[in-house]
Amino acid sequence: QVSLPITINLVSLTRRWLAKEAMASTSSLSAVLLLCLAVAASAQLSPTFYQTTCPNALATIKAAVTAAVNKENRMGASLLRLHFHDCFVQGCDASVLLSGMEQNAIPNVMSLRGFEVIDSIKAQLETMCKQTVSCADILTVAARDSVVALGGPSWTVPLGRRDSTNANEAAANNELPPPFFDLVNLTQSFGDKGFTVTDMVALSGAHTIGQAQCQNFRDRLYNETNINSGFATSLKANCPQPTGSGDRNLANLDVSTPYSFDNAYYSNLKSQKGLLHSDQVLFTGTGGGTDNIVNNFASNPAAFSSAFASAMVKMGNLSPLTGSQGQVRISCSKVN
């Protein structure tokens, strides 16, 4: 028989253990909850959502995106980034397209591009099927078509998202992973959205296209040692060391094939030619961290394409508004 003091002590210890377990599992539970919400939301989305209400919607989006990318190769990366910055902040709801607010956030101001392409597509669709195709769906499909236009993989896009009536500048500042994040920060940031580590490394491969501003990689050029010396030297002329000098000068994220959506990004990392700090932390060369995933994607283009496509579907399923939630904007830059 257990005496009363010991019983009380055991109860106390049990409560403390349960409290610690609850705290330790909060992050995991949050990720699981996000995953469940994504699954529930995706069940309300369908690739054939516009089959009868606007049958030429997808063809119209594809033609416009292909033309825009052919006119300016960089536009493909800009549209893909626009989709990412939309979905990571309160879900894929086209909030990033609303004038002001999220567009003024630190990660977005004077760097987000492609709004005119989305606006042009929306205008075309409004003449075909008035207030039917959402801006959120246009942006999601445009991201896929941008990748395809630059030689990357395709995937089926579930449709039926609706547009938000608000945007959140504070969330954009807090939730978009900055270029100085290390591996732990990146893993946490993507994990909070329900992505696996493999998803994170695959989505980082979007940096096989596009450009970055000097202010986002200056510190890496002048203060980090895990960078190819020739690569660093080639960039310094266009990115001087003093802050404020050439801050917005651009460099290609992929030094090898900047306008082809391929797996060269991962080979660049193995050669210490990742432009951003948050790129190079994915490969250390020690065999730890995410080195094995990078090695796999560098040597197996099909593995990268498959993982990227899968992760992009998950991206598009982040907390969409469906049914009677939100609205279908007539103009993507403002609420109805």
**Got the DSSP string for 274-301?**
-SSHHHHTT--SSS-TTHHHHHHHHH-H
177 annotated as a binding-site residue = yes
208 annotated ligand-binding residue: yes
Q: What sections of the chain are H helices per DSSP?
A: 4-44, 57-71, 74-87, 115-128, 135-149, 169-175, 183-191, 197-204, 218-223, 229-236, 264-270, 277-280, 291-299, 301-316
Residues 236, 215: Cα–Cα separation, whole Å: 12
Residues written for the chain:
336
Task: Tell whether 262 is in a known binding site.
Answer: yes
Burial label for 135, CB within 10 Å (0-12, 13-18, 19+), is buried
In one-letter notation, the amino acid at residue 4 is L
Is 83 a catalytic site residue? no
Q: Is 182 annotated as a binding residue?
A: no
86 is in an annotated binding site: yes
Is residue 91 part of an annotated ligand binding site?
yes
Q: Does the annotation flag 316 for ligand binding?
A: no
The residue annotated as part of the active site, out of 85, 218, 277, 314, is 85
257 belongs to an annotated ligand binding site: yes
Tell me: is residue 89 an annotated ligand-binding position.
yes
Question: According to DSSP H, which parts of 46-114 are helical?
Answer: 57-71, 74-87
Most distant pair of Cα atoms in the chain: their distance: 83
Tokens of 286: 């020690």
Residues marked as catalytic: 85
Enumerate the known binding-site residues for Ca(2+): 86, 89, 91, 93, 95, 102, 208, 254, 257, 262
**Binding annotation for heme b:** 207
- Which residues are part of a known binding site for substrate? 177
Binding site: what residues are annotated? 86, 89, 91, 93, 95, 102, 177, 207-208, 254, 257, 262
